[in-house]
Amino acid sequence: MRAIFRVVPILILLAGCAGAPVTPEPASDKAAAEQALESGDYHAAARLYEGLAERARFPRREEYRLKSVQALIQAGLAGPAMRLLQSVDSSGLPADLAMQHQLLQATVVLSDDPDLALSLLAEPAAPESETALHAQFHQLRARAFGKLGNHLEAARESIERELFLTEIRDIEANQLVIWEALSNLSNQALEQLRVRPPPSVLSGWMELASIAKDTRQPSVHIAERIELWRQRYPGHPVLEPMLKAIEVKSKALAVRPNHIAVLLPLDGRFAQAGEAIRDGILAAHYDSAQRHDVTLRFYDEGSADEVLAQYDAAVNQGAEFVIGPLGKEAVRVLAREEQLPVPTIALNRAEPAASDSLFQFSLAPETEARQIAELAWLEGHNNAAILAPAGAWGERVHASFLERWEELGGKTASTSKYDAEESDFSGPIKRMLSIDASERRSIAVRDAIGRQVEFEAYRRQDIDFVFLAAFPRQARLIRPQLRYHRAIGLPIYATSHLYTGHINAAQDRDMEGIIFGDTPWTLNAETPHAPLRREVRKVLKQHTGSLQRLVALGLDAYLLVPRLRLLDRYPNDRFQGETGNLHVAPDNRIQRQLVWARFQRGEPQVLPRTLFAEPIEIDDGQE
């Protein structure tokens, strides 16, 4: 009996030290949470793991909370994920949990603040933790560097990540990331930044990228250069299929049509646009090492009724590839043809093409509006206000922005149209900000009490940002008027049309803070063809304003000729052009990713974290 009484006080003491009783976790709840996570029901998984955490002690409680955070992140709920992370007791966590906590912190902030993500990932929280966590550590650092436009460091981190990978499919995917990062560097950058000699793994990747990007070499020499590379970098970890794909793609890029026809408006109201595109094509042609082997012939595309005859004439005279036409109706005529005899890049958009040989490439404002919706969403905004001009152009841009914004789950607080011929936009701005409603209420109060009342109008507070569709004159007037009507601090996003394409700090100072998307050519962003751009601008000074963007369109159209089938065959491949980062979509439209800039002291400053960002992918309309 005395033995029993000796045990009882010890049990009571232990119970007191443990705190409140903890309900055992049902095995079925844990299994249900794991099943929800695997099946993609992230909201349910987050709830189930949080329920398990409430019934568990440290450190199992923190483990379940971290799993709930992971599910919230995968559900796209960064705000709730951050709040839950703040409730995690990170002091004294076991090594693996400490590193999971670190990785989740960086993941939550990565999209909005890659600099902060890198500071959180300065060193692994647990150097001796499991291999998979270190792979995630370097992957997150690579993504952060990529968002900041530092492609070399992104490649370096992916190379480090590969040391912790064991599955061949993971290694293949990682090597593709390395390749894409280095492909964003110009040939000059690849040469200048390759400072370490063989057998440096990074230098080996950079030299491979240089070989692949050098389209001046005859295709027969590419295999020889890759073989020499093998001898210089014995034991390099690049996988054989990857190396073979590089060789195949490089050979394909070195093969060009012998005869290219160009259909452009050479007379009439669009002749100036046609001349700008023509000059861009000629600049790219004369910069090519194969220019002496390629016949380049120009045709007047004529009216929509004449374009088929012109197209057939070009093919009958030996054209193996056609660039053009430019007119929307002319492109529509070609799009209806079920069979086109040669690959063709039309320079405008129409309905989807009936022929697999027709690709559509344009500077359509609708594309810019959709990408602004994506950028605003990525930067954490939810409620938009739209200010667009009345008329066909404004309707097109407004509709494109709204369609994409709603696809992403964004809400529209208000929409207002303005007359582009006016100079006073206070009426449309007041309607958009609901200041007019505030003023009407003050008048109603004055009339009700029969005397003047002290009143200060206020704007609605549920607007996160303004999407502005405007040209330079209107934008320079609208921005100060927005500020006057209490929209100070409200982010403004706009299409490229508000920028003339030439720095004019005195006139553009009134657009301070506006964020807009434009071509690398216009914003002088770094691309592989920046040296050619500088040479062209010295010569083609007659093309001003929006015509500069058309010069870039012509240059890219010509540079796409040998790359088109590769981009069509490899949907993940990108070509860093002067109109943007280009890829071929499933509908045979050549999509371009803009470069983003912000007006600061009247001059556009490129925002490096959004350079060549990838578009948001949505599955089944949900994100």
pLDDT band of 545, cuts 50, 70, 90: confident
Q: Does 489 score more than 50 pLDDT? A: yes
Long-range contacts of 311-318 (CB under 8 A, 24+ apart): 311/263, 311/340, 311/344, 314/261, 314/263, 315/261, 315/341, 315/342, 317/261, 318/259
Q: What is the mean pLDDT of residues 239-265?
A: 84
Question: In degrees rounded to 5, what are phi and psi of residue 619?
Answer: -100, 125
Q: Does 79 score more than 90 pLDDT? A: no
Q: What is the mean pLDDT of residues 90-119?
A: 89
Reported as half-sphere exposure (CB side, CA atoms, 13 A), residue 345 has a value of 27
Report d(CA 607, CA 516) in Å as an integer: 10
pLDDT band of 6, cuts 50, 70, 90: very low
In whole numbers, what is the pLDDT of the chain averaged over residues?
A: 84
Q: Does 218 score more than 70 pLDDT? A: no
More confident position, 484 or 28: 484
Q: Which two tokens stand for residue 548?
A: 């500069």
Q: Does 437 score more than 60 pLDDT? A: no
pLDDT band of 27, cuts 50, 70, 90: low
Q: Does 306 score more than 70 pLDDT? A: yes
More confident position, 472 or 176: 472
Q: Does 619 score more than 50 pLDDT? A: no
Report d(CA 395, CA 399) in Å as an integer: 6
Mean pLDDT lowest for which of 46-50, 95-99, 190-194, 220-224?
A: 220-224
Q: 366-518+585-610, which class in CATH?
A: alpha beta
Q: Does 242 score more than 80 pLDDT? A: yes
Q: Which CATH superfamily is domain 259-363+528-575 in?
A: Response regulator (3.40.50.2300)
In 331-458, DSSP assigns E strands to: 344-346, 358-360, 383-389, 411-418
What is the separation, in whole angstroms, between the first and last Cα of the chain? 66
Reported as half-sphere exposure (CB side, CA atoms, 13 A), residue 194 has a value of 22
Mean pLDDT lowest for which of 35-44, 100-109, 331-340?
A: 35-44
Q: Does 263 score more than 50 pLDDT? A: yes
Which sign does the torsion angle of CA 585, 590, 595, 596 carry?
negative
Among the ranges 198-212, 501-515, 571-585, which has the highest mean pLDDT value? 501-515
Mean pLDDT lowest for which of 36-50, 367-381, 504-518?
A: 36-50
Q: Does 8 score more than 90 pLDDT? A: no
Rounded to the nearest 5 percent, the helix, strand and coil shares of the chain are 55, 10, 35
Q: In this predicted structure, what is the pLDDT of residue 613?
A: 44
| Contact call for residues 610 and 603 (beta carbons, < 8 A) | no
Long-range contacts of 89-92 (CB under 8 A, 24+ apart): 89/58, 89/61, 89/62, 90/62, 92/58, 92/59
Helix residue ranges, H only, 422-529: 426-433, 435-449, 472-484, 505-508, 520-523
Q: In this predicted structure, what is the pLDDT of residue 620?
A: 35
Residue 101's nearest CA partner among 138, 62, 53 is 62
Residue 320 CB-density burial (10 A; 0-12 exposed, 13-18 middle, 19+ buried): middle
pTM: 0.70
Report d(CA 277, CA 282) in Å as an integer: 9
Q: Does 511 score more than 70 pLDDT? A: yes
Q: In this predicted structure, what is the pLDDT of residue 1?
A: 34
More confident position, 438 or 285: 285
Q: Please list the residues that pair with 584 across neighbouring strands.
A: 590
Q: Does 21 score more than 60 pLDDT? A: no
Which sign does the torsion angle of CA 191, 193, 196, 199 carry?
negative
Q: In this predicted structure, what is the pLDDT of residue 268?
A: 87
